[in-house]
Structure 1
Amino acid sequence: MPLNSRITALLLATLLGLSQCKKNEPAPVDQLPSATQTGANTFGCLLNGQPWTPKGYYSRPNFIVTYDPGYDGGSLQVRTYRYPDDSSPGQYIIFGGGQIAKPGAYPFVLKGNREAFFVDLGQQTLCKEFEEAPALTYRAGTLTVTRLDLNAGIIAGTFAFTLYKPGCDTIKVTQGRFDKKL
């Protein structure tokens, strides 16, 4: 084999070998805490396909769950925030509502008893808060309570929702899970 052919073959083999190298980064959902029901004090979801977990501390815990069985047929509130880095403003995910008295699926609605919210203080004014109608024009999704055990003081579940308001990117929260000791 002539020298030029050997060099060409060697270069092609090297390029082929390099093209097969991939970083073994975990999938976004694999970067979330497991969906447990043990009171593990965990929360995570994918926010527009990226892992989102509570982070930072701003004078109160970054993951709070309250449940009052005597109010509104069972009232649940899940409140969490994160500071992506030391110089970034906070992001908040909040959801819950009433008429949650046992494990089961509960829909989020645009106006009414069960709602989900997202706030990103780092966004422009128009798109920083996805909270209430009429500015918020679409809210749909489901909260599924998988464990509600008042004797053990544990509440756990999964959630997903979509929020939209004109002029802003859609907020899609998927693969959500929480597990909290009350």
Structure 2
Amino acid sequence: MKTSLNLLLIILFLSFVSCSKQDDCDNPVDCLPPATQTGAGTIGCLINGEVFRPGGSQFPGPTQRAVYNTSVEGKYYFSLTAKNRSTNKSIGILLRDQQIGEGETYFLISEGEFTNFAVYNINIIEFQTNNEFTGEITFSKFDDINGIVSGTFWFDGINEEGEIVEIREGRFDMKYN
């Protein structure tokens, strides 16, 4: 009986001290991953003022990913994705036919089939940039030798019903493949 009581006390103690860093932030920006440039494998942002970080099961694939490559036609493509499978939220950024440069900023504005854009999904509802609701991604580090890409982003997206989402304070520091 004493062992059961001790075990219960330990479990209660651990539940109180195991609160995530996100729970004790006065400013939501403080709950985002630090702005690093080492390929730390981090990404996060604020979605309408609330912290978003990838998480949940790694099945059926990674919860965050950066890809930079060239197509058969020799065009460059960059994509950045983050998913939180526990909350059914995800963000994605795609740059089409853009060769990335360190210190460069690229606009996220949809003006046709082959443009840069950003998207936020919650469940099956999609919010996307367009000509009116835009954004930016800035690369503070682009190391093609070590495959490291770091930077910041923000965007506004709109869904089919006209609802708007604000993605702010986005930051990432990842290895790409």
TM-score interval (norm. to shorter): 0.7 to 0.9
Runs of 4+ in 1 over 6 A off after TM superposition: none
- Alpha-carbon distance between aligned partners in 2 of 1:174 and 1:72, rounded to the nearest angstrom: 32
Query: Normalized against structure 2, the TM-score is what?
Result: 0.74
Distance in 2, matches of 1:132 and 1:102, equals 22
Say if 1:107 and 1:164 are closer, same or farther in 2 by CA, change over 3 A. same
Specify the alignment match of 1:61 in structure 2.
62
1:117–1:25 distance in 2 versus 1, CA, 3 Å: closer
Letter in 2 for 1:140: T
Q: Deviations over 1:89-116 (max 9, x none)?
A: x111010213132120000102342100
Which residue pairs with 2:81 in the alignment? 79
Matched residue type, 1:92: S
> Higher Cα Rg: structure 1 or 2?
1
Would the aligned equivalents of 1:92 and 1:118 in 2 still touch at CA under 8 Å?
yes
Query: Shift in Å at residue 74 of structure 1?
Result: 2.9
1:114 aligns with 2:116: yes
2:9 is matched with none
Q: Which amino acid aligns with 2:66?
A: V
How many aligned residue pairs are there? Answer: 148
Identity of aligned residues (%): 29
Partner of 1:139: 133
Report the alpha carbon displacement of residue 153 of structure 1 after superposing the two structures with TM: 1.4
In structure 1, the gaps of 5 or more residues are 1-23, 123-127
C-alpha spacing 1:41/1:168, structure 2 compared with 1 (3 Å): same
Structure 1 CA distance for aligned equivalents of residues 25 and 37 of structure 2 = 27
